[in-house]
Copies of this chain bind each other. A is one copy, B any other.
Amino acid sequence: MAKSFHPPVRTLMGPGPSDVNPRILEAVSRPTIGHLDPAFVGLMDEIKALLQFAFQTKNALTLPVSAPGSAGMETCFVNLVNPGDTVIVAQNGVFGGRMKENVERCGATAVMVQDEWGTAVDPQKVADALKANPDARVLAFVHAETSTGARSDAATLCKLASEHDCLSIVDAVTSLGGIELDVHGWGADAVYSGTQKCLSCIPGLSPVTFSDRAAAAIENRGRRAQSWFLDLELVMAYWGEGAQRAYHHTAPVNDLYALHEALVILEEEGLQSAWDRHQRNHDALAAGLEALGIEFVVDREYRLPQLNCVRFPDGIDDGAVRKTLLNDFQLEIGAGLGPLAGQVWRIGLMGFASNQKNVLLCLGALDAVLRQQGLAVDSGAAVAAAQAVYAAQS
């Protein structure tokens, strides 16, 4: 006979999920109401307005997809990419590869623009690819690569797309709430995110937003999307303004309570304050890691403050370190992916998890574990260096 499951209480400093704000854990447990209840319809309107705030847009087509970020990605592709289309995909990590998969499963051709993992997408290469493929209809790229910690210049890439009459599809899973994301200012056409990164919400939903240009492309595509569940023409009949809320699928009511609370918290803090906080805690963590002799994969200019991808010292047993951190410190950090597997750690400082306590815990724990592993560590220097950054800031 199975028993109730009581999870260990971890500190989540991996690539997500990140530590969930207790206010959000309380919100998710509020009593369930029906997905057609007038009170729920009011909640949907507020969530839409709060997502528009978070994305910095007035796009009417802004809503949370009822599934994780990869479903948000698929929503963008199945609604905007038609069979036979050419799509330029910039890849500088795992998620560009997943975009390629999506393009191909839509019966379209992906023209890949490759950049080294850990670097930003090179706008010049993208411009060249757009010129070489005048029939391309879409440019897709990742704003904040969770697999490497690199930030790409979304403003420039969206502008390039628009100049070449392409729609832009932007992966903002790890950027929303953590760094500047200006959907309107950049003219991004289709943007998807996740709840479990810098919104510090539970995982399971994917906020998306589509420009009027993208919405028009969906209306005029002259075919049904290959997915019924992700077909925005149907989803919008439920989420749309003034619509009669036509039943599409049963909304994940409690998850939406959680997302609403996460967005209320973000609005209370303010976007700029949230971004500043992510930067401050990153600066402190970076000072501490440098004191431990640990180097960043990504050049300073392109580093994501919320996802710190660092090379661990030679001779270190990657698996053993992460296991010790988890078992002895209840601390989760992330392993490397793809070509970076076995070479890097990914240390997240996302949303609620981006705080001084976590920075100092992580540095203190790494200090202890690296010493255990026989590395000559100037013990205490990491925490002191981080603390000095905080002292200088205050």
* Interchain CB contact (< 8 A) of A12 among B1, B33, B70: B33
Q: Does A25 contact B (CB under 8 A)?
A: yes
Query: Beta-carbon contacts of A188-202 to B below 8 Å, as 1s and 0s?
Result: 000000101000001
Provided the pairs A37-B326, A264-B3 are in contact, do residues A32 and B105 lie with their beta carbons within 8 angstroms? no
Interface residues on A, range: 35 or more
Q: Does A344 contact B (CB under 8 A)?
A: no
Q: Does A260 contact B (CB under 8 A)?
A: yes
Provided the pairs A28-B28, A69-B249, A203-B250 are in contact, do residues A228 and B74 lie with their beta carbons within 8 angstroms? yes
Q: Does A367 contact B (CB under 8 A)?
A: no
Q: Does A245 contact B (CB under 8 A)?
A: no
Most buried by B among A12, A38, A49, A196: A196
CB interface residues, A 335-390, toward B, < 8 Å: 337
Of the listed stretches A135-143, A162-170, A219-227, A296-304, chain B binds: A219-227
Which residues of A are interface residues toward B (Cβ below 8 A)?
1-10, 12, 14, 16-17, 19-20, 23, 25-35, 37-40, 43, 46, 49-50, 66-71, 73-74, 78, 98, 101-102, 104-106, 194, 196, 202-204, 224-229, 247-255, 257-258, 260-261, 263-264, 267-268, 326, 332, 337
Chain B residues within an 8 Å CB radius of A43: 5, 7
Interface contact A7-B29, CB-CB below 8 Å: no
Chain B residues within an 8 Å CB radius of A98: 228
* Interchain CB contact (< 8 A) of A228 among B16, B66, B70: B70
A228–B101 CA distance with the chains assembled, in angstroms = 7
